[in-house]
Structure 1
């Protein structure tokens, strides 16, 4: 059932010159962002004519690879690649499987620092352009910001989707995407799997949550369209996800197959608007969801494998003819019903173009080859998707010059201007929910001795440390000396006692809470014990904004929607009073004892 409050991308090498000659030499600036021309179509057909079937099929796959170098990764990464993929490095991956794209992950050691990322990207492109049919690569990542962020500092980081929803400004959303896109492009990343376009109307959603702009379909649509324009104005491909809408589920599709029970009318009203808006904004690619939506297809197949959804609705009804990329084929939500050899075949039959990160590439690749050889898939069908893939590579200038430089990294990545923009945009999303004791803002020219306690979830590499430490440092730099004490998401009684003792003599305690629920009462016990000391308590929700519904009354409560440095510093500025709170809830906060009733509605937010 839907929740009752449906509140939201140098030097051109010899290999590259060969590619440009094959494609027809065109200036990179003219190629990016332009519509396909008749000349482009002829060049695409010529590239395809030179390909064998194995190359055509390989271009459809986007694959992970371990290591920070395309040809010389660390021994441990070589071992991981050989174990999982049967190759030693990215260059071997491209030579063996002819893949059309590689996806970067921090855990795969792809994203250690901007110069390294640029070098890896260049190495991948050199390997791709050294093949018999030289075709530049899509290099992608999930740089949503906030909860899902593959590249951290010194690159510029913004708060995530829900914080932008609380900010509410399409201009700020577009600016954030343009900055992120500009920095990705400087590092050689030319396809970003963002923005998340799911309408998160279920507070219990375990996989979307703060990745979404919010629970109001039209607000999500407006911000999604703004980010599409921002990313693509920076010369990279943007990806709206997860079609047909992953916002109302209590199941994580990484581990199981969720069912969305929306009627067709509810889907049209709640889930469809952001994707319609993204298409109208000229979105380059749309990512599928591994979810069941019986009202759209009652076959029992997930949307990724559904012809009625990907072709009937997305292509025919919504009129979308851009790239369709699957969500990761290693997720259990798409593997429950069919084998890993069948999943990519069925995704192509449904209408997908790019096959993302299969668990066993040899099985998936051979599965598609076998389907073509048996006649289940035609070579013409493969070429339809290949034409879309090559067309976007042409339009985004990759055939003209796919390379980046360290000088370009220095000009674009983590600049003072970009960092200042991120601070301003993030400031405007911090939401003040309660201030009953009038504690905030802290008086000017009068310091407060503070204790910062709470949860310390893992943050991206390159951050300043655990959230409590980042908050304490931020307060101290603002003139309010602060001690940090990490109590975790499930503090023991001994840890609670330690926090209570540390609070003695402080002017206020800042508690960072993280996804508080009645089923896990330890954080509730911590806040309860701290309020009993008589020291004013300020509670800051550093992920979902629903925590306040489960907690005892505190002096003040805020929603930050994230726990990366940029958000924590913004929250400190608001609490200290150097920035006024302007954020408004982009989702409703339901009562803990009556989830059908809003404790705080969409649009709520205090000022001072």
Structure 2
């Protein structure tokens, strides 16, 4: 009588214990096995000769970067011998897919394509994404991210015509000197390795891509590379079973489709010295029978010396089949392999039935991955599809989640009081400014230095002398290799410098190298802040810099122990969201393709139509900068391209960026009253027609003030020459105010401006009419209320703390002229091109310092101030203005009077007026901002947590150029932001 399976399991459990029962009941068989006896597999089997069935077990390498001879050789093996698969090596995705389509066309049975893509296609193919090495992934605490990576890796492999990934690596790397696994392992903890391996496997197999756990029974504890020799692992069976084989057992229980066998000598498992790839006791006895694995068993490459040394090609393939392998990778002699396996069948060493069963298993895999309905894949757009924004964002998320904060003394990170810090960055091992350093500069002023990894004493002493001027030094230790190996290769002098700097309490280290390297750096564990980033990539550099300033947080845990310095599992948690995160649009729920295409199109149109020579657009959502791009040239007649860091004249955006934040702060302190008038702060205005007009009315632009006064024209005589008490060609104590190199204004002329404002008539009716007159007075009002110099006050209380280092008046005194974008060619007043000085005539006559105009900034620094507004007064962990105050100042003040304005801030029109509106159709009624005469615009929308900055110099060469207005470029771009928000 035949026992059913359930009864057999129970009897077996009684004999061997409950552990066996639990494993047997929980084990999931690989999904592809259901096709082993399918109609399609049956039909293919009937068409294959016995030798062709053997050939289905063989796989050869294919390159997409080799010549026509290589392709002919591969085609020969496909056509003549009917091999079962190809493992693709170096090349590019487009060439590979073209070849795969051609190979499939030539094959009697669809070819199965495999690749080593442990960290994605970037491991083998150019122009594709490299996800983090598994050591970095081992630091991640969210397995869902690893699963998502598996899904994405599967999508990418399938798009390139592939069906098997020889991954994940589930070797437990418990030997820091391991030269071949090391950074390819999830770490030294078997549970962590297992959890990550299962997540990665399930992600891939959810998309019907076969995953292959490697390198069975465990390649982690060896200091020998099996590519060059046969490693020996001398541990007792109990240790191997409990540690090395644990992840394999668990992945098998979870239904992994494939297992790759390593080339190892493991006496406790096979005392004969036979490489594990050729060992029947290991493959059949342990993997198949003891662990119950029924899936696809694959050899590691058969050309590696760990198995090839002393073994004849073809013969060694036969031995691998006899040991129990199903698929042989990198078979070196296909004809000989087929002949030797056929001979073994003829001699009764193995039966044709067993070969057929393995052939069926491989065909079942082919059906499971969809090769029973094979169609050629299109080559067009493949690289674009492989590099989708969603995949790039996932890569960033993985790197971000891996960053491991090992030290953070006195909670130094995230850096807070930027106004108290003078920061230097040192990149060790980099010859030019790095992405790490560039990203640090986005947050505040950081002076950068480079130090060669072979630097000598003189080089280091020179650097140390320069660093004495700084109270914080941020060090990036960069890798010399594209692989994250356990090597430092630093001169003794550099190592000593690192050791000395580590003892300082004003040093931050970010290590873009293998974590094992930390054990080779003396005193590194004493540094105030230590970040382990695992790899030296642009993304890891960018995100490490963002971590330092609180743009992102840290959750990573060290996956390996580092000598006595750090243990596996070490890692401090740190919250992010303190300052801007620089990321992809999808990270903020926006479509990067829609956003980028729309802005590019509109900016290119504006430049082509000569509406502006160039410009910069910055977009942030949820305090994440998702778009920041420069366009065009500084001016039409030169070749200087606009850079994102270029500094622009903000024009009337100054109104909300200078005196206004000061007034709001003073309002918080009870020192500024919206019901007060100008005369309450400037007694000179007593008994004027401006008396008793409340600031609430003035700032909302319904105080009946005239829009503007042409102050410079008041300096002219009827014949066009300047009045004697106004300008001179040279500076002097009496004429100290520089308007141009040949125009120096009288020191008391400000009084004339004040007088003109005081005497100016009022409009007849109190309704909305935009006026800049009071903004000429506000710097003095702020100075009188605060009892501080106006510029010092706004620098100290706002710009310095924000790290907004380019937000300034008179930028030519602080920055190289090539960083400042020129504005108008002035042929009426100054008779020169305005470059580095304020465009507005009134503001330049005030010494360049006015709240009406005069402020300069780059987009990134201006965004910090605007984000503070959007956050209702808070940014970088500091509160600048009370929330209630910002809500008061940003709300429409007099809607009943058909006035849409807030206090100094502009607001959307009360009714949308189509192309004639001042904002995009979808801008909410809560939104606020301002525009500037030079072609600038800033806008914030609390409803969508959306920030938009547009900088241009549309007035070059002349203010008469109004094409930017006619094209409505700024507002159309603003609408594109809303259009790109994902549902």
Task: Quote the residue 2:475 is aligned against.
Answer: 510
| CA distance 1:491–1:257, shift in 2 (3 Å) | farther
How far 1:605 moved relative to its partner? Answer: 0.7
The answer to whether the 8 Å contact 1:33/1:235 transfers is: no
The CA distance in 2 between the partners of 1:467 and 1:362, in whole Å, is 53
The within-5 A match list for 1:20-419 is 36-37=34-35, 40-68=37-65, 77-78=67-68, 81=70, 88-106=72-90, 109=91, 112=92, 114-128=93-107, 134-145=108-119, 149-151=123-125, 153=127, 155-406=128-379, 409=382, 412-419=385-392
Distance 1:478 1:354 in 2: 54
Distance 1:369 1:452 in 2: 64
Q: Which structure is larger by alpha-carbon Rg, 1 or 2? A: 2
Q: How far did 1:347 drift?
A: 0.7
Corresponding residue SS for 2:72: coil
Cα distance, 1:578–1:135 mapped onto 2, change above 3 Å? same
Cα deviation 1:21-66 (Å, max 9, x = unaligned): xxxxxxxxxxx9666258x534323312211234222221221123
Distance 1:474 1:292, change over 3 A: farther
Q: Residues 44 and 562 from structure 1, CA distance in 2 versus in 1: closer, same or farther, beyond 3 angstroms?
A: same
Task: Label 1:383 to 1:501 Cα distance change in 2 as closer, same or farther (>3 A).
Answer: farther
Going from structure 1 to structure 2, the CA distance change for 1:422 and 1:484 (only over 3 Å counts) comes to: farther
The CA deviation at 1:220 is 1.3
Pick one of 410, 423, 427 that aligns with 1:453. 427
Structure 2 counterpart of 1:590: 563
Q: Offset of 1:455 from its aligned partner?
A: 4.7
Displacement of 1:469 in angstroms is: 3.6
- The DSSP-based 3-state class of the residue aligned with 1:124 is helix
Cα distance in 2, alignment partners of residues 477 and 550 from structure 1: 32
In structure 2, relative to structure 1, the CA distance for the partners of 1:291 and 1:34 (3 Å cut) is closer
Indicate how the Cα distance of structure 1 residues 332 and 535 shifts in structure 2: closer, same or farther if over 3 A, else same: same
Q: Secondary structure at the match of 2:571?
A: coil
Deviation at 1:467, TM superposition (A): 11
Kindly tell me: are residues 498 and 361 of structure 1, through their superposed partners in 2, closer, same or farther at Cα, counting changes over 3 Å?
farther
Bigger mean CA deviation after superposition, 301-310 or 572-581: 572-581
Of structures 1 and 2, the one scoring higher in RCO (CA 8 A, sep 6+) is 1
Q: TM-score of the superposition, structure 2-length normalised?
A: 0.50
**1:435 to 2:419 alignment:** no
For the residues of structure 1 that align with 2:278 and 2:448, how far apart are their CA atoms? 52
Q: Indicate conservation of the 8 Å contact 1:513/1:523, yes or no.
A: no
Task: Spell out, residue by residue over 1:258-293, the C-alpha distance to the aligned partner (whole angstroms, 9 max, x if none).
Answer: 111221111121112211221122111110111111
Contact 1:146 1:563 (8 Å CA) reproduced: no
Alignment partner of 2:223: what SS? coil
Pair 329,469 (structure 1): closer, same or farther in 2 beyond 3 Å: farther
Counterpart for residue 723 of structure 2 = none
Q: Is the partner of 1:324 in helix, strand or coil?
A: strand
Task: From 550, 566, 569, give the equivalent of 1:603.
Answer: 569
Question: 3-state SS of the aligned residue for 1:421?
Answer: helix
Size of the aligned set, in residue pairs, is 534
CA contact (8 A) 2:82 2:109 kept: no
- For the 8 Å contact 2:114–2:165, the answer to whether it is kept is yes
CA contact (8 A) 1:146 1:211 kept: no
The alignment status of 1:564 with 2:532, answered yes or no, reads no
1:588 shift after superposition: 1.6
Describe the SS at the equivalent of 1:392.
helix
Measured in 1, the distance between the counterparts of 2:538 and 2:76 equals 37
Contact 2:261 2:298 in 1 (8 A): yes
Mapped contact 2:476–2:512 kept (Cα < 8 A):
no
Residue 393 of structure 1, CA deviation: 0.4
- Tell me by how many angstroms 1:96 deviates: 3.4
Q: CA deviation at 1:537?
A: 4.5
* Other-structure match for 2:858: none
- Are residues 424 and 53 of structure 1, via their aligned partners in 2, closer, same or farther at CA, if it must alter by over 3 Å? same
Paired with 1:482 and 1:394, the residues of 2 have a C-alpha distance of 59
Where does the alignment leave 5 or more consecutive residues of structure 2 unmatched?
Answer: 1-29, 575-983
- Structure-2 change in CA distance of 1:572 and 1:525 (3 Å): same
* C-alpha displacement of 1:543: 3.6
Q: Does 2:522 match 1:549? A: no
Cα separation, 2, equivalents of 1:573 and 1:440: 11
Is residue 451–residue 503 contact of structure 1 (8 Å, CA) maintained in 2? Answer: no
The verdict on how the C-alpha distance between 1:300 and 1:179 changes in structure 2, with shifts beyond 3 A counting, is same
Q: 1:526 aligns with which of 468, 491, 494?
A: 494
Query: Could you tell me how far 1:381 is from its partner in structure 2?
Result: 2.9
Taking a change above 3 Å as real, the CA distance of residues 392 and 521 of structure 1, as seen in their structure-2 partners, is closer
Structure 1 residues 346 and 383, CA gap change in structure 2 (3 angstroms): same
Distance in 1 (CA, whole Å) between partners of 2:403 and 2:488 is 25
Residue 425 of structure 1 pairs with residue 425 of structure 2: no
Under a length normalisation based on structure 1, what TM-score does the superposition of the two structures give? Answer: 0.79
C-alpha RMSD over aligned residues:
3.3
Of 425, 428, 452, 1:487 maps to 452
CA distance in 2, matches of 1:398, 1:359: 26
